[in-house]
Chains A and B, each alone.
Chain A
Amino acid sequence: MATSTQRANQLTMADMKGRVDPDWCPGCGDFGVLAAVQKALIELQIPNHNVVTISGIGCSSNFPGYMNTYGMHTLHGRALAVATGLKLANHGLTVLVTGGDGDGFGIGGNHFVHSMRRNVDLLYVVMDNQIYGLTTGQTSPTSRVGMKTKSMPFGNIEAPINPISLALAAGATFVARGYSGEQKHLTELIKQGIEHPGFSFLDVFSPCVTYNHDNTYQWFRPRVKKLEDDSAHDPTNWLTAMEKSLLWGDEIPIGKFFERTDVPTLHGAEPVLDDGPLIHRGLRVPTDAARSFVEELM
Chain B
Amino acid sequence: MQQTFAVGIGGAAGQGVATPGDIFAKIFSRRGLHLNAYNAYQSIIRGGHTFLTIRTGPGKVTNMGDGTDLLIPLNQDSMDRHLKLLTAGAACIYNADTVKPGSPADGVQLCPLPVSVLADITRNKVAQNTLAIGAGLHMMGIGFSALEEVLREQFKKKGDAVVAENIGVARAGYDYAAAHFTAFPNALPKTEHRYAILSGNVAMAMGGAAAGVKFYCAYPMSPSTGVLHWMAAHARKAGIMVRQVEDEIGVINMAIGAAHAGVRAMCATSGGGFALMSEGLGMSAMIETPVVVINCQRAGPSTGVPTKTEQGDLWQMLGAAFGDYPRVIAAPLDIGDCFKLIPEIFNIADRFQCPGLVLCDLLLSEGRLSVEPKELDFSPPIDRGELITTNGATPDVGTNGDYKRYKITASGISPRAIPGVAGHIHTVATDEHMEDGVLISDEFTNPVQRRAMMEKRMRKVTGIEAAVPAPALMGPRNADVTLIGWGSTKGVIEEACEILNNQGISANQLQIRWLVPLHGEAILEILRDSRHSIVVENNYSGQFARYLRSETSFVPDGHIRKYDGEPFMPHHIVEAVKEQLAGKTHLSVPMHEIMV
User: Contacts A70-B427, A89-B258; is A65 near B439 (CB within 8 Å)?
Assistant: yes
Q: Which of B129-137, B166-174, B240-248, B297-305 contacts A (4 or more CB under 8 A)?
A: B240-248
B400-439 CB mask vs A (1 if < 8 Å, else 0) is 1000000000000000001111111111111100001111
Docked-complex contact B241 and A69, CB < 8 angstroms: no
Instruction: Point out residues on A near B: beta carbons under 8 Å.
Output: 8, 11, 15, 18-20, 23, 47-50, 52-54, 57, 62, 64-65, 67-75, 78, 81-90, 92-93, 110-111, 113-114, 270-273, 275, 278-279, 281, 283-287, 289-290, 292-294, 297-298
Q: Which residues of B contact A72 (CB under 8 A)?
A: 257, 260, 287, 427-429
A292 near B215 with CB under 8 A, answer no
A-B residue pair count with CB separations less than 8 angstroms: 225
Report which B residues bind A (CB closer than 8 A): 29, 194-198, 202, 206, 209-210, 212, 214-215, 217, 234-243, 245-247, 249-250, 253-265, 279-280, 283, 287, 373, 376, 378-379, 382, 384, 389, 398-400, 418-431, 436-439, 442-443
Q: How near does chain A come to B273, taking the closest CB pair, in angstroms?
A: 14
Specify which chain B residues have a CB less than 8 angstroms from the CB of A272 in the assembled complex: 235-236, 239-242
List, sorted by A's number, 12 A–B pairs whose CB atoms are closer than 8 Å: A52-B419, A65-B439, A68-B400, A71-B428, A72-B287, A74-B256, A75-B253, A85-B259, A88-B215, A279-B389, A283-B214, A293-B238
Cα A156 to Cα B398 in complex, Å, equals: 46
Please give the distance in Å from A28's CB to the nearest CB on chain B. Answer: 14
**Are A298 and B262 closer than 8 Å at their CB atoms?**
no
Residue in A47, A83, A283 with the greatest tally of chain B CB atoms within 10 Å = A283
* A49 touching B241 in the complex, CB below 8 Å, given contacts A15-B399, A82-B256, A271-B236: no
Contact across chains for B243 and A88 when beta carbons are under 8 A apart: yes
How many angstroms between the C-alpha atoms of A88 and B427 in the bound complex? 19
Name B253's contact: one of A64, A81, A284 (CB within 8 Å).
A81
Option from B197, B247, B421, B429 in Cβ contact (under 8 Å) with A49: B421
- Known contacts A70-B420, A70-B427, A84-B254; decide if A279 and B249 are in contact (CB<8 Å): no
Please give the distance in Å from B262's CB to the nearest CB on chain A.
5
Question: Nearest CB to that of B379 among chain A residues?
Answer: A284
How many whole Å from B270's CB to the nearest CB in chain A? 20
Contacts of A11 in B (CB 8 A): 398
Nearest-CB residue, chain A, relative to B417? A70
Residues on A with C-beta less than 8 A from B262 are 89-90, 279
Compute how far the CA of A72 lies from the CA of B241 in the bound complex, rounded to whole angstroms.
22
Rounded to whole Å, the gap between the CB of B289 and the closest CB of chain A is 9
Contact A297 B196 (CB under 8 A): yes
Contact A73 B429 (CB under 8 A): yes
Q: Which residues of A contact B237 (CB under 8 A)?
A: 285-286, 289, 292-293
**Residues of A contacting B420 with CB < 8 Å?**
49-50, 70, 90, 92-93, 279
> Once bound together, how far apart are the Cα atoms of A47 and B262, in whole Å?
19
Q: Is the CB of B206 within 8 A of A85?
A: no
